[in-house]
């Protein structure tokens, strides 16, 4: 499964089709309107030039959100924990037909950190 920002400067590839996508309502995700596919870092390939994105790190400093410098699409987040082995890509940047049949789960990241379904 592949996706990319609007201008194509940042591309990603999920090596396996995700079993679910996560729609989180935390303060950053609801503003980004992201639809996340989480996977082991080894299961995602990011293709971009070194300076193609802006990194946004806040709060507990565990994640860095990457946004294309040219078109402004948030493409992925990277895990900043020393033992972190997962990351996520924004599947709003994948062609909709490729997402058909994948369950979307709503996560209450704003409060309880539990799935609402």
Please report the pLDDT score of residue 117 as a whole number.
87
Domain that holds residue 50: 2-107
- Does a structural domain hold residue 49? yes
Over range 41-53, report the average pLDDT.
Answer: 97
- Does a structural domain hold residue 71? yes
Query: Has residue 8 got a pLDDT over 90?
Result: yes
Enumerate the H helices of the chain as residue ranges. 27-32, 96-99
Q: What is the CATH number of the domain that holds 47?
A: 2.170.150.70
Q: What percent of the chain has pLDDT over 90?
A: 98
Instruction: Specify the number of domains making up the chain.
Output: 1
pTM assigned to the model: 0.95
Q: Are 2 and 18 in contact (CB under 8 A)?
A: no
- Does a structural domain hold residue 66? yes
Q: Which residues contact 59 (CB under 8 A, 6 or more apart)?
A: none
- Does a structural domain hold residue 11? yes
- Does a structural domain hold residue 69? yes
- Does a structural domain hold residue 114? no
């Amino acid at each position: 499964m592949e996706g990319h920002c609007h201008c194509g400067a940042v591309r990603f590839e999920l090596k396996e089709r995700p079993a679910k996508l996560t729609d989180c309502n935390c303060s950053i995700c609801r503003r980004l309107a992201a639809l996340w596919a989480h996977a082991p870092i080894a299961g995602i390939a990011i293709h971009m030039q070194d300076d193609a994105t802006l990194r946004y790190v806040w709060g507990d400093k565990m994640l860095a959100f990457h946004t294309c410098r040219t078109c402004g699409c948030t493409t992925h987040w990277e895990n900043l924990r020393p033992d972190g082995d997962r990351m996520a890509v924004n599947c709003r940047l994948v062609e909709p037909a490729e997402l058909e049949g994948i369950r979307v789960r709503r996560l209450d990241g704003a409060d309880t950190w539990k799935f609402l379904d």
